[in-house]
Amino acid sequence: MSAKRTTPIKGEAWRAYFETTQLLTAELERRLKADSGMDFGDYNILLVLSESPEQRLRLGGLARAIAFGPNRLTYRLDVLERRGWVRREPCQGDKRGLEAVLTDDGRRVFRKASLPHSRDVYDVFLDHLTDEQAQAMLEVFQPLRDRLTD
C-alpha cells in the first residue's frame, strides 16, 4: 500500500458511505414498495426509459445505464412486460437488435410512483444537506461517474 492509502479519513469515509447507502437504499425501497409496489430495479428501468428519446432504449444501453447484467435485465423485463409497463421490440434501424419501450401504462405508473419517491428522497436525505454539502457530493460522484462510464 502506498502512503496515501493509509489516510484513515478515507477508510472512514468509505465505511460511512457504503454502509449508509445500504441502509438508505433499503429504507427508500421499503417506502417505494409500500407506495407503488415496485422495487428499485424496476423503478430505475422505468426512470431510464422515461428519460430516453421516444421512451425507448436498446437493451445493451439500458443494462449499462442501470448496471444490470443481461440475465437480471431479461428477468425484470419479463416481469415488467407481463404488467404491461414495458414492451420489447426490434430496434428501429437495426432489426437484429432489441429495444425496450415504455408503454403508456408504464409512463403513467412511473409518474405516479415518482412523486412519493422523490418526496421520500428529500425527507430521508436531501432536506438534511446544506447546498455546500450537495455541491461537495456532486464534486465527488460526478468525476467518478465519468470514469466508470468511460
Applying CB under 8 A, the residues found at the interface with its own copies are: 1, 4-5, 7, 9-14, 16-17, 19-27, 44, 66-67, 119, 121-122, 124-129, 131, 133-145, 147-149
What are the φ and ψ backbone dihedral angles of 68, each rounded to 5 degrees? -105, 140
- The CB-of-138 to its own copies minimum distance in angstroms stands at 5
- The closest alpha carbon to 100, from 67, 60, 41, belongs to 60
- The CB-of-9 to its own copies minimum distance in angstroms stands at 5
- The CB-of-106 to its own copies minimum distance in angstroms stands at 20
Q: Is 127 helix (H, G, I), strand (E, B) or coil?
A: helix
Q: Is 119 helix (H, G, I), strand (E, B) or coil?
A: helix
75 vs 141 by CB, closer to its own copies: 141
Beta strands in the chain (DSSP E): 56-58, 86-90, 98-102
- The CB-of-61 to its own copies minimum distance in angstroms stands at 14
For residue 140, the one-letter residue type is V
Q: What's the CA gap between 40 and 31, in Å, rounded? A: 10
17 vs 75 by CB, closer to its own copies: 17
Q: What's the CA gap between 45 and 71, in Å, rounded? A: 14
14 vs 94 by CB, closer to its own copies: 14
1 vs 71 by CB, closer to its own copies: 1
